[in-house]
Structure 1
Amino acid sequence: MTKFGDVASFVVSIIKRDYAPDYAAIPPHGRWQHFDVGGRPRIDQLMASWPSTVDNQERTRRLLDLFLVSVLLDAGAGTKWQYKSKESGRIYRRSEGLAVASLEMFKAGTFSSDPREPFQVDSAGLKKLDVATVARGLQVTSSNPIDGLEGRTSLLLRLGEALQNQEVFGLEARPGNMLDYLLSHPTTQASSVPIIPLPTFWNMLMDSLTPIWPPSRTQIDGVPMGDAWPCSVMPSHPTHPWENIVPLHKLTQWLAYSLMVPMTKLLHVHFAGAELLTGLPEYRNGGLFIDVGVLTLKPEDQERGLAQYQRNALVLLCLFQHQLGAVAHRIDAAQLVGREPFGVGPGERNEPFELFGWLPLGETWGLEPLRPKRRIVGKAKLKK
């Protein structure tokens, strides 16, 4: 607990180093940043390729189509997989590689059922996918394997089913039509800019995407809960099975952050209550706490701890999420933010997602502090 102030100060120092004095330029954390890997503004270039007759609402729909599919493909790729861009010839790995791959698949019309409209995702287009098609799109071969190829394909197929919800996704069964659902929702305020309550947006994602979760996930009354898991340290109750279930919803929160960006950038949508989203319970964030010394492992417990890793992984994720909140509150406290470290008040930050939306880009993503400690950035110190 005594280290939280040190972590906050460290994060502030990195933000100052990389963004001072223009703190309003800190980008929100979302999939858009992955598409721009290598400093190439791929999303801007994509939009520039569309004719001027495509208005901002349709541009936003298309980006929502792309971002949703790309986020769902964004599970751990493993250490052996890589993707060679067909456009630049450069090689990318991990999340950034999956972002570039999904973008190039999108531009090729892989997810569309209409050859005349390649820049969209629709139910019929997803339902025609199979493992071989996804493997070709991701350049998977025996010498370039990716973790979870079948699982990714199954997820896209289930998304095709979920898009049949016409109330949210319209007659075209496109993810982008959630924009029309949100803008016309009775809780949305139409002023100089649309104001969408975060709970309206969140409930839409949780309810409409329930069918995509594998049936093997935690269920209550036969309904898959998604990224929510029984936790052994929580109290259990024989007639209240939800009492010991911890809702992380990392993928849905990552999706929420990512989808908010194009709606905010193109249509100036404001999400009221965006601070209700949490920091992502992500192992990269966990790396920050390990490397800065918030979490330390007693030498005599290392062997026992590694043996218990699988059983306790969920507890670690909960801990990372909780600690992110503590660091964020330290940074946002009057003695740290105000006019002190950034020279800009909380109400003046030009970003829609409050601290959790830009802290990962500011550097809670756990890579900076480990650079002097690890030869290969991104590799865990402790291996199973």
Structure 2
Amino acid sequence: MLSTPPAEVADIDLSSMKFWSRSPSERHRDFARLRRHAPVFFAEPEMGPIPTGPGYYALVRHADVIEASRTPQVFASEPSAISIPDMPQEFAEYFGSMINMDDPRHARLRRIVSRGFTPRMLAKLDDDVRREAALIVDGLLEKGPCDFVSEVAARLPLNIICAMMGIPEDLRETVFADSNIVLAGNDPDYLGEDADTAVRRLLEAGAELSGILAELAGERRRRPADDLTSALVHANIDGELLTDQELGSFFILLAVAGNETTRNGISHALKLLTLHPDQRELWWSDFEAHAGTAVEEVIRYASPVNWMRRTVTRDHEMNGVHYRAGDKVLLIYPSANRDEEVFDRPDAFDVTRSPNPHVGFGGPGPHFCLGAHLARREITVMLRELHRRVPGIHSTAPPQRLLSSFVNGIKSMPCAF
């Protein structure tokens, strides 16, 4: 195991929030250096009262991320995919969802959850997305220049996810606030200034989200409705039903992951179209012709999720590097999405890019994002509605970015039209 990075990249520390607080262009210059010396071993970041572990390899090349994603029997999601240190038991109660599991438990849960996404429910969802996007633009036109994230980008996924699950409207702001805390990374605006406060707020947010779903699940067991919660509590495959803990963890995953990719995808799209007027003009000249490739390019270029963790289950050689059982690796998606070996002009934003084998929804394999289709649909519908009714919308100042190593998030960004 390497103990220190090579001299050529010794000044780069992916465990430091100073790295993640830098501009995207600075980070990508460092990722390019890391790709030339991949993989590089890093010490684990300090996580307050959570014990740190032995460190991790950063997989920054596209080929490594793809291969590790395709071999979950070697690169496992257990015990945690979303935390570099192993999560304490009290965290696992709320955040131990199927994203942190391997087969056969992962396959069982994914199979049950997939039963909730029937063709009838997906058709209804499509109508809901179009209707919600139209209502959001109605409000935008009435309000005028505003914060694009809170007034537009965040509203669509939040309302769609809550509608899918059957969450009452009076609880949606609570779901939004709690999901922000769960995804806060190291941002003091959400977690406070000290580690003890951060841990307390995370556990409180997880407990509140889990409690909302537990109460709703009890109601749906007695009186089923036409929503995903009803489908999940009554889904039975070979005698298998989801437990209350599994339901709560899935809802937290859905509220957080479903919110994050779409909200940040829409926010990054407006920023990119503002910074690249030639690409905006090209896309806007024939929205439907370019929508498919353009949305994929937004996801590649923005890479809303920065990494996922895997744990090596046995000694293994991959692309010339020998890994030992127990080693941790981080799949660094934004670096893989700019790999010069795979993408022509990787730093160019090109709405016509094809092919575009990005890993913005994760690499291939059992953990490819379950909601990728919905995220693509939401981003496309929201941008179509903006193109149709407020084609001149643009950001008017640099975005306020989330201080997080895990999520490439935008907290706020003013817009005008």
TM-score by length of 2: 0.25
TM-score by length of 1: 0.27
Higher relative contact order (CA 8 A, sep 6+): 2
